[in-house]
Amino acid sequence: NDQTPVSAQEREEKLEGIGCKRKRVEDVRFTQGKGNYVDDVKLPGMLFGDFYRSPYAHARIKNINKDSALAVPGVVAVVTAEDLIPLNLHYMPTLAGDVQAVLAHEKVLFQNQEVAFIIAKDRYAAADGVEALEVEYEELEPLVDPFKSMEPDAPLLREDIKDKKEGAHGPRVHHNHIFTWTAGDKDATEDAFSKADVVVKEYLAHPRVHPCPLETCCSVANMDKITGQLTLWGTFQAPHVVRTVASLIANIPEHKIRVIAPDIGGGFGNKVGVYPGYVMSVVGTIVAGAPVKWVEDRIENLTTTAFARDYHITAELAATKDGKILGMRSHVLADHGAFDACADPTKFPAGLYHVCTGSYDIPSAFIQVDGVYTNKAPGGVAYRCSFRVTEAVYTIERIIDVLAQKLDMDPADIRKKNFVQPEQFPYTSATGWEYDSGDYPTAMAKAMDAVGYDQLRQEQAQKLADFKAGKSRQLMGIGISFFTEIVGAGPSKNCDILGIGMFDSCEIRVHPTGAAIARLGTKSQGQGHETTYAQILATETGIPSDMITIEEGDTDTAPYGLGTYGSRSTPVAGAACARAGRKIKQKAQLIASHLLEVHHDDLEWNVDGFQVKGNPEKRKSMKELAWAAYNNVPEGMEMGLEAVDYYDPPNFTYPYGAYFCVVDIDVDTGESKIRRFYALDDCGTRINPMIIEGQIHGGLTEAFAVAMGQLIHYDEYGNVQGGSLMDFFLPTAVETPHWETDYTEVPSPHHPIGAKGVGESPHVGGVPAFSNAVNDAFKKLGGVHTHMPHTSANIWAYAQSLGL
């Protein structure tokens, strides 16, 4: 065929493989409004469910009168905990080893808790039913402050487990205690602190925020009573895990459950857990005999499904007087709300917080995390991060600045002095993590050069002098964050969820004409998997990306996988993809040896086919080999060209980056302006540089939101504030700063294509960069640390407190 490109370079370009800025194939439907989301699922006879929610944070339910709700035209059923008890469905297990009320039984434990589920013929009737329902309460004393949770006379919240002395992670010492968890070597760390010239200690609150995806959580359940088949569409970041949990909770055999996660409008951790709404849509379809849809509104999303952070961190560093860090200590009081519904690997109730020694060679560390109950919504999810790594990076990147300030050292110099050096990789941290690869000094040098660090410091000094001289009311801050992420959960030796190892999977079928379909156990929520997995396969198999369909999210067709969160898709499923592609290639090589009548060792791979060594004219393309796989295979070989790979990674991957933020602050109004933000990322081999840039823009925007404005606050009665977008800061293009991106590329030594995850790096690294910049502006004026969110009001109040 004359049209067929011939040169290796042309064939390479046609593949659009690893390294290509391939345009996102999914955007064709997204930009034309043709995405298929859960709310687009419309089934004949479908009913709608809506929750009646508690107005109180802590109250006893004295009576529920269903009649007034049932009298509303269109209302079909009203379900309460009493109805769920015979089915043993009034509580469900959480991923963290606790149980959570599906509908409140006897007591409500947080404002907006689910009390009754109203099923109606349309959404409006369901909402009217919610309005009409009559519930009588007796108010109880609310517990809002986590620091008061374990006081001897603190109110008892969880009556259902009041006699439980042993939790999922060890003994419970108080009725509001969930767990105490430690990592590192306490004695060695104490020894380091006793010998240090300098010790710093700071309280660093990481307030409660919410992932706030554009699409809220929702589900549609349909039980076919004839076949006994339950189909559940939902906003699931981990559809297979949902199927297994649904089977265990509802006692329906797993093969009779089909979970489908269609297009998802952002997850950021919010769509990992199992929520009462999902369970109630299933209960609803069984009770009502018709499909039932449940769709959260924005207030429900912000106030009930999976908050993030709420870590009350105390951090300490011990160092020599010339700035060499000797030890680190951190204590965290973790406010988990009314139920421990964190989504972490089973063995790590505090997620991966103990990676908090960061990018530095710190010889000793000791970490303790205490989890407690309060009258707040449950959750504790990883908001665009790998299981509490944002909290970990915030801790080290803030406290190292505090140490630099105490020693009167430059924040860049103290980082450089303590970096893990390139020759130390693989490097084992004091809390036991093995960092796979990196070259921190090179990344730091490139970043400092790019931003013109020395000039920035000179400019800052001049501004400060003007301020002190009364010539100006403007301050300038320079924030540095040199973060190391830990992504790709994970090695099954460390990580499981409900006992299932955290592998991931890819299954490929190559069709006779050389086109292919690949299915994976992960689930994109906007990250562009349909584009990038095809690129990996194109490079591995020689099949052009646009000839490969990528499918995720349907448990009836996709191989079992643990889903997408914690930037694990590339490190785990991406690796499965590469390995499945290699299996295809191996078989194709045997077919090529048969067709070309040479020994397979005499063949070599060239872009998209095998050629005879020393005689490149004699070759068979993958397209030809695919055809032969269905009609002319070596004797004894099965026909077809398929492969499956389940990949259990040997280690996490450790992407890193150097971020610099420059902020200008008006001391009289507290207004801040991010003048410049430079982000250098190293995620190993880059599959699609354009998608990486998009991920970094998005992650930085969310980091900006968290650091500068987001907060889910509770008043003293447990009333949730910040529960709508009138109050909760969601930056638009108007507020969002301009982002400069850059990179270095040090591959992961254990990943088949050397790639590390990247989706969450900008969030994890971004938050401390903003906070350090704000704090840096005040550090020569008596300030040490001011808490996030750095709103104008908070910055103004801080300036006032410093007498400025």
Site string for ligand CDP, 432-461 (x = CB under 6 A): ------------------------------
Contact between 757 and ligand CDP (CB under 6 A)?
Answer: yes
Report CA torsion sign: 389, 392, 398, 400: negative
- Closest to ligand CDP by CB, 441 or 689: 689
Query: Rounded distance, CA 39 to CA 293, Å?
Result: 8
Min. distance of Cβ 12 from ligand CDP in angstroms? 18
Count how many Cα atoms sit within 13 Å of the Cα of residue 630 in the half-sphere of its side chain.
12
| 384 annotated active-site | yes
Kind of pairing between the strands at 229-234 and 218-224: antiparallel
| 106 annotated active-site | no
Dig out the tokens for 420 from the structure: 């893990």
Contact between 684 and ligand CDP (CB under 6 A)?
Answer: yes
Query: Rounded distance, CA 514 to CA 619, Å?
Result: 16
Contact between 691 and ligand CDP (CB under 6 A)?
Answer: yes
Dig out the tokens for 491 from the structure: 């090695």
Q: Of these, 75, 282, 711, 755, which contacts ligand CDP (CB under 6 A)?
A: 755
- Closest to ligand CDP by CB, 375 or 386: 386
Choices 148-156, 413-421, 567-575, 670-678 (CB under 6 A): range interacting with ligand CDP: 567-575
Q: Of these, 54, 570, 593, 771, which contacts ligand CDP (CB under 6 A)?
A: 570
Dig out the tokens for 34 from the structure: 């043709």
Query: Rounded distance, CA 146 to CA 743, Å?
Result: 41
Cα angle: 567, vertex 572, 575; to 5 degrees: 125
CB 403 within 8 A of CB 323: yes
Query: Rounded distance, CA 17 to CA 95, Å?
Result: 37
The one-letter amino acid code at 590 reads L
- Closest to ligand CDP by CB, 409 or 683: 683
Contact between 532 and ligand CDP (CB under 6 A)?
Answer: yes
Q: Of these, 687, 696, 720, 795, which contacts ligand CDP (CB under 6 A)?
A: 687
- Closest to ligand CDP by CB, 266 or 276: 266
Q: Residue 460's beta-bridge partner residues?
A: none
**Count of positions (residues) in the chain:** 804
Contact between 172 and ligand CDP (CB under 6 A)?
Answer: no
Q: Which of 342, 356, 385, 661 is catalytic?
A: 385
Min. distance of Cβ 384 from ligand CDP in angstroms? 8
Q: Of these, 359, 395, 593, 688, which contacts ligand CDP (CB under 6 A)?
A: 688
Query: Rounded distance, CA 256 to CA 244, Å?
Result: 11
Min. distance of Cβ 692 from ligand CDP in angstroms? 5
Dig out the tokens for 366 from the structure: 């000791």
- Closest to ligand CDP by CB, 178 or 755: 755
CA 788, chain centre distance (Å)? 20
Contact between 683 and ligand CDP (CB under 6 A)?
Answer: yes
Query: Rounded distance, CA 423 to CA 408, Å?
Result: 29
- Closest to ligand CDP by CB, 662 or 755: 755
Contact between 567 and ligand CDP (CB under 6 A)?
Answer: yes
| 237 annotated active-site | yes
Q: Determine the longest span between alpha carbons in the chain, in angstroms.
A: 89
CB 125 within 8 A of CB 76: no
- Closest to ligand CDP by CB, 425 or 630: 425
Contact between 527 and ligand CDP (CB under 6 A)?
Answer: yes
Min. distance of Cβ 759 from ligand CDP in angstroms? 3
Q: Quickly count: other Cβ atoms within 10 Å of residue 732's Cβ.
A: 7
Q: What is the dihedral of CA 60, 370, 758, 328, to 10 degrees?
A: 160
Dig out the tokens for 249 from the structure: 């909770």
Contact between 651 and ligand CDP (CB under 6 A)?
Answer: no
Choices 103-111, 214-222, 244-252, 684-692 (CB under 6 A): range interacting with ligand CDP: 684-692
Q: Which residues are catalytic?
A: 237, 384-385, 760
Positions in the binding site for ligand CDP (CB under 6 A):
527-529, 532, 564, 567-570, 683-688, 691-692, 695, 755-759
